[in-house]
Amino acid sequence: MKKGAKSMPNKLAIVLRGVSKEYRRDEIRIPVLFDLDLEVEEGEYLALMGPSGSGKTTLLNLIAGLDHPTAGEVCVRGQDITQLSDSELTRWRGNHIGFVFQLYNLIPVLTALENVELPLLLTSLSRQRRKENVRTALRIVGLEGREDHYPRQLSGGQEQRVAIARAFVTDPYLLVADEPTGDLDRSSAGEILELLVQLNREFQKTIVMVTHDPLAAQRASRILRLDKGQLVGDIAQSQLGAIL
């Protein structure tokens, strides 16, 4: 992991042009995103806010290559990922994206160490090197000594820390987090948000986070608001105070 590495100023990490997304349920078309344009700079920490059903998670899924847009292009690090096949997209995600989910989504039968090691199994790293990287990641998230604990033996906050370690252990280009504090108490949520800030500032990770929580959004460097499938503008940090 490249701690403190400086990114090129104003270099774009994510570019969305004319992105639309609609789902089909039988014959019914359900439009979710409309002709959306977005640019995110490298090293930026972007929070997406908006009411339920506004398309935040759909937008996050498109940026992370979990879904294909109905129209438009999604470029991440200069690559139009809409042109990739499913298998190419899977490989691309493994190499470039780290995921943090609301419910942590750890594998219950694996220990913390094994959960974090999971994405490294897809690399050609030796067993010893994998273990070293995992221990480093767990140390960064403050879970040294918890390597052999199973998810059921950890608190919610600790589980989310393991999930974050799993997300950045491969040193991905982009971290996407969907309501990372949505299932945590205020104290644990604060620790997780601090960790994400640390990853953004110390390790220059570009982060896109979906959240309902203004306190969580407050930690981001930019906050965008989505409503009815459209970006309705930036929310200034000063405006968050009113929301809070």
Partner 1 sequence: MKFLHYILRNARRNPLRSVLTVASVSVCLFLMMILISFLSINDEVNDSVRIFNRIVTMSSQGFGQPVPIVRVSEIAALDGVIATTPFSWYGGKYNEEVMPFAQFGVDPKTIFTIYDELHLPADQLKAFQEDMTGCVIGKKLAGDRGLKVGDRLPLKDGAYPVNLDLTIRGIYDGPANRDLRMCMFNWGYLDESLKRDFGGRGSGNAGIVVIKCRNAEIMASLSKQIDKEYANSDTPTRTQTEEQFGKMFAEMIGDVRSFIGNVGLAVVFSLVCVAGNAMAMSMRERTTEVAVLKAIGFGKPLLLFFVLAEAVLVAGLGGVVGALGSKLFFDAFDVARYSAGFLPFFYVPWSTAILGLALSLAIGFLSGVVPAFRAAQLPVVTGLRKVV
Rounded to a whole number of angstroms, the minimum distance from the CB of residue 4 to partner 1 is 26
Scanning 27-35, 99-107, 137-145, 186-194 for contacts with partner 1 by CB under 8 A, the matching segment is 99-107
**The binder of partner 1 chosen from 12, 15, 75, 118 (CB under 8 A):** 118
Structure-token pair, residue 224: 């965008």
Nearest approach, Cβ of residue 25 and partner 1 (Å): 12
101 binds partner 1 per the rule CB under 8 A: yes
Q: What are phi and psi of 31, to 5 degrees?
A: -75, 135
Q: How far is the CB of 81 from partner 1 (least distance, A)?
A: 14
One of 57, 200, 206, 211 touching partner 1 (CB under 8 A): 57
Counting contacts by CB under 8 A, is residue 18 touching partner 1?
no
Name the residue nearer to partner 1 (CB basis): 45 or 104.
104
Closest CA to 74 of 100, 102, 95, 93: 93
Residue span 182-221 as binding mask against partner 1, x where in contact by CB under 8 A, dash where not: ----------------------------------------
Site string for partner 1, 132-171 (x = CB under 8 A): ----------------------------------x-----
Backbone angles phi, psi at 41, to 5 degrees: -80, 155
* Residue 99 touching partner 1 (CB under 8 A): yes
Which residues are near partner 1 by CB under 8 A?
57, 61, 64, 66-67, 86-87, 90-91, 93-95, 99, 101-103, 105, 107-110, 114, 118-119, 121-122, 127, 166, 178-179
